[in-house]
Structure 1
Amino acid sequence: MQAIGEAINQTMATKLTWASEYCTNATHVPAHIKPRMPNDDDWDAVTEYQVEMQKLCDKYKVQKIIIDGQVVCPRCKCEQYTAETTAEFQSYADHLKKNDKTLVLYNQSVLQDETILYARFDNYRTEDEPLAYQNLLMMKQHATGILNGEKFNILLYGPPGVGKSHLSYSLLYDINVRSNNQMSCLFIDIDEMLRRLRDSFNNPESKYTELYFTRLMSEVDVLVLDDLGAETGNEQTEKRASDFTGRILRAVVNSRQQKVTVVTTNLGGEQLNKMYDGKMLSRLSKNRKAVLFDDRVKDKRPLEGY
């Protein structure tokens, strides 16, 4: 967005400099404003033009000229063009800023499986599965609550493959569309994020630094942290998350006290407490909505690919 802003400012400066130069010279007209005389056979109109052109501009006391078939003051015309150009570029800049929030979800989310990008509420399968249908309705309700300004966290817990990631991304997509581009959403696969971070240690050109991810995750309105605990490599492990992982997650969670954070995990509360800092988990549990899955929900992966 910074690069876009700089481009807009540079273009506006060029346009306004152009207008300023010509507005100070009453005898010169911009190249794109070409004087046009009436048709040759309309001599009465020619006479009227000639009479009008003898008059001086009341404001600038300069002789008028013909522009687009009208007798006008060239300096007044340049002022009008400058104002219109400024308004045009300001409108364009506002449009880009507005749409920049929508682009966060598509351009900056961190995924392992990009098929999740096609996840929607309406393609989550719930046939003959009352619990899956109930959870789908809950997530739709949570999306509406967030759009209405409610602030809470969401925990999706259950076995692999039941659609926790699907419903989480569907919630982000729904908010992205229905908020009229007023809310920024982000999906972060924790394991993939940490992999990119580790790669950046030996790659000074990589943008995926600790500061980059901390800022990105802290600033968005709605954040999904997908598959908490998977970065340890084994769901049955009792080892703690590394200090590095813990530091990043603490910084993000601490900065999001007044924002919505969604967490998906296959791990129960006892396992999470062994792996992560208690204060961090406590903050994630604040004002929490739980969406729970069990073996009554079928594995969605063979049907949908994720």
Structure 2
Amino acid sequence: MIQPFENLEHLKQLDELCPIHGVNLIQIDRELKMAGEEKPRKPAPYCPMCAKERIKEKEQQVIEHNLNAAIYQKTYNVLMRDSTNAQELTEASFENFKAETPEERQFLDFAKGQVKKYLDGMNGNTLLTGGTGVGKTHLVISIAKELNEAYRAKGEPKSVLFINLTEVLRDIRESFKFSSKEGYYSRMLKEVDYLILDDLGVKLGNAQGQSKSAWEEEFIFDVLSHRKNTIITTNLSNDEIANLYSERVASRIRTGLEGNFFKVFSIKDKRYSINTLKGGRQ
């Protein structure tokens, strides 16, 4: 006879058998105070085999919970934990992007279309280019959120990260421990499934139009060389990218851009306040 609670006194074996396992039921042969009940009573008989299975089941649930938590730490949680979101755009979404002109509607449709392409298995970069304040950052943050939630809903959480490239490069250069900070960002930017690089080409210690430093070139090349899916915003044209970066970096930026490139021509500056975003379209 199997007893999972050998150290428990007052156990009594009954003649009644468990209908599942065919073993004798056991009962604690004394009255006990049950939670939520006023009067003490003898507990219901139990099957020792069923009891062991329930214990194993609970242990498995705990294991699965911890595994899921570990998976989410490396995937779904990355976006809100590690991104360098601009505070004003924390609330950004496709729903509150103000698409009032034909070009703005095309821009919004393009961003939504890129989400669908990636969810359907596309590998390759996406590039959004245009002047300051036309909504590029708003839309790529929206893309990041949509991808993050969609993969979670599919039961296949992926890591999505939004990075303002200017902030990251400045943080590395100003760090007291340069190499460790560079290594930290390098690993993180290489390893995520979907990386959003905002503000490619913004000056950082260089006058606009001058070539980037050898270190900055190498850092960007190293990151892009290890990636399949990178979503990039810039206010540079193709020619300006070619002038600012070496051909090897420019070619990495152009990886898979056929049909995945949108250039804004006439959208006016539409930078949002936090109140505008929370209230939706004006």
**If the TM-score is normalised by the length of the shorter chain, which range does it land in?**
0.7 to 0.9
Contact 1:225/1:264 (CA < 8 Å) preserved in 2? yes
Distance of aligned partners of 1:302 and 1:89 in 2 relative to their CA distance in 1, 3 Å threshold: closer
Distance of aligned partners of 1:50 and 1:261 in 2 relative to their CA distance in 1, 3 Å threshold: closer
TM-score normalized by the length of structure 2: 0.78
Matches for 1:25-44 after TM superposition, within 5 Å: 27-29=6-8
1:301 alignment partner, one of 267, 271, 274: 271
Tell me how far 1:302 sits from its aligned partner: 5.3
Tell me how far 1:177 sits from its aligned partner: 1.3
Which residue of 2 is the match for residue 115 of structure 1?
A: 88
More helix by share: 1
Contact 2:162/2:196 (CA < 8 Å) preserved in 1? yes
Contact 1:153/1:287 (CA < 8 Å) preserved in 2? yes
Tell me how far 1:95 sits from its aligned partner: 2.8
Q: Percent identity?
A: 27
SS in 1 for 2:195: strand
Q: 1:278 and 2:247 equivalent?
A: yes
Which residue of 1 is the match for residue 158 of structure 2?
A: 183
SS in 2 for 1:299: coil
Distance of aligned partners of 1:52 and 1:138 in 2 relative to their CA distance in 1, 3 Å threshold: same
* Pairwise CA RMSD: 3.2
Cα separation, 2, equivalents of 1:233 and 1:123: 35
Matches for 1:108-257 after TM superposition, within 5 Å: 108-111=82-85, 113-127=86-100, 129-180=101-152, 182-202=157-177, 209-232=181-204, 237-256=208-227
Tell me how far 1:88 sits from its aligned partner: 1.2
Tell me how far 1:151 sits from its aligned partner: 1.1
1:269 alignment partner, one of 232, 235, 238: 238
Distance of aligned partners of 1:219 and 1:302 in 2 relative to their CA distance in 1, 3 Å threshold: closer
Deviations 1:109-139 (A, max 9, x none): 123x222221111111111x11111011011
Cα separation, 1, equivalents of 2:196 and 2:111: 13
Which residue of 1 is the match for residue 62 of structure 2?
A: 89
SS in 2 for 1:230: coil
Contact 2:15/2:24 (CA < 8 Å) preserved in 1? no
SS in 1 for 2:232: strand
Deviations 1:264-298 (A, max 9, x none): 1111222222222211210221210111112x212
Deviations 1:214-256 (A, max 9, x none): 111111111111101114367x623221122112111110001
In the alignment, structure 1 segments of 5+ residues that lack a partner are: 1-22, 37-48
Cα separation, 1, equivalents of 2:90 and 2:125: 22
AA paired with 2:269? D
Tell me how far 1:104 sits from its aligned partner: 0.6
Tell me how far 1:187 sits from its aligned partner: 0.6
